[in-house]
Amino acid sequence: MSHRPPDPKLLSINTATVRKRWNLGEIFEGCARHGIQGVSPWRDQVQTFGLTESAKMVRDLGFVVTGYCRGGMFPGSTPEEIVAARDDNRRAVDEACELGATCLVLVVGGLPKGSKDILGARAQVRDGIGELLDYARPRNMPLAIEPLHPMYAADRACVNTTAHANDLCDELGDDGLGIALDVYHVWWDPYIHREINRAGKKRILAFHICDWLVPTRDLLLDRGMMGDGVIDIPSLRAAVEGQGYEGFHEVEIFSGQDWWERPPDEVLKTCIERHQSCC
């Protein structure tokens, strides 16, 4: 099956992709220099660089902020931990609003420390998202649940399939709630196409791209550049765009041993090329 290359204007860079050698200001300048129109910054980078300054650069350079990374981490082992997560998530919504982000991405959290109760953690996640929706909806900041590959169920996110994310949208109501689909996390799922259809245009709030390397040498920091791994990215893009998704394709690569070590200008150039040739 052949696919037309994507519109180059739809490339977005998740700022984690070049975070090691550049600060956020340098990343924004670099993206602008390469003609990239979408960015998705991380909270720690924004905090280091300054929220006001970050928002000003976004406006001045005319970026679309295709997501703000990230809220979530809802489960806690004490009421105090749960309240702290709630308050921090509200601040994340406020920051996302100030940056004009299209959504706040939620990495929902895994098991509380010492717990083996994944069903309980999932219930905390549902309740946490429900509570955050009450805060985010009146501020018009959509929340995007990002299902993570099941290898992260214990420590990062106990929502591991698009079906589960769709179930949460069904239960909590999809006004201001949707899904961030990351090919790295969903490519293996035998039901992914069915669940993309079920999500539909309304729920697909973000589309993240990178590649799955074989072998994967590190659970977190060994994501591949598009084209270097085994993910059929064009078919997933066709599926989301088949639902009417018109948003950006956000490159998100954590690569401790490879891409983070390269000159960021080379990384951005490669992202632009591979977006055209492999997505």
Element containing residue 84 per DSSP (H, E): helix 79-99
CB of 208 to Zn ion, least distance (A): 4
- Tell me how far apart the alpha carbons of residues 147 and 53 are, in angstroms, rounded to a whole number: 31
Residues 258, 213: Cα–Cα separation, whole Å: 12
- Location of structure tokens 């059929």: 232
Q: Which amino acid is at 62?
A: G
- Closest to Zn ion by CB, 82 vs 181, is 181
Quick one: how far is CA 141 from the chain centroid?
15
Reading the block at residue 177, the tokens are 């709630």
Q: Looking at 208, 223, 274, 275, which residue binds Zn ion (CB under 5 A)?
A: 208
The answer to whether 64 and 167 have CB atoms below 8 angstroms apart is no
> What does DSSP say about strands 64-65 and 68-72: parallel, antiparallel, or unpaired?
unpaired
Cβ distance to Zn ion smaller for residue 76 or 102: 102
- Site membership for Zn ion, residue 211 (CB under 5 A): no
Which listed residue (15, 39, 46, 182) binds Zn ion by CB under 5 A?
A: 182
For position 252 contacting Zn ion by CB under 5 A, the verdict is yes
From the list 25-33, 57-65, 215-223, 245-253, the region that binds Zn ion by CB under 5 A is 245-253
Give me the 42-81 binding string for Zn ion, x by CB under 5 A, dash otherwise: ----------------------------------------
Contact range with Zn ion by CB under 5 A, out of 25-33, 94-102, 129-137, 178-186: 178-186
Judged by the rule CB under 5 A, the positions of this chain that interact with Zn ion are 182, 208, 252
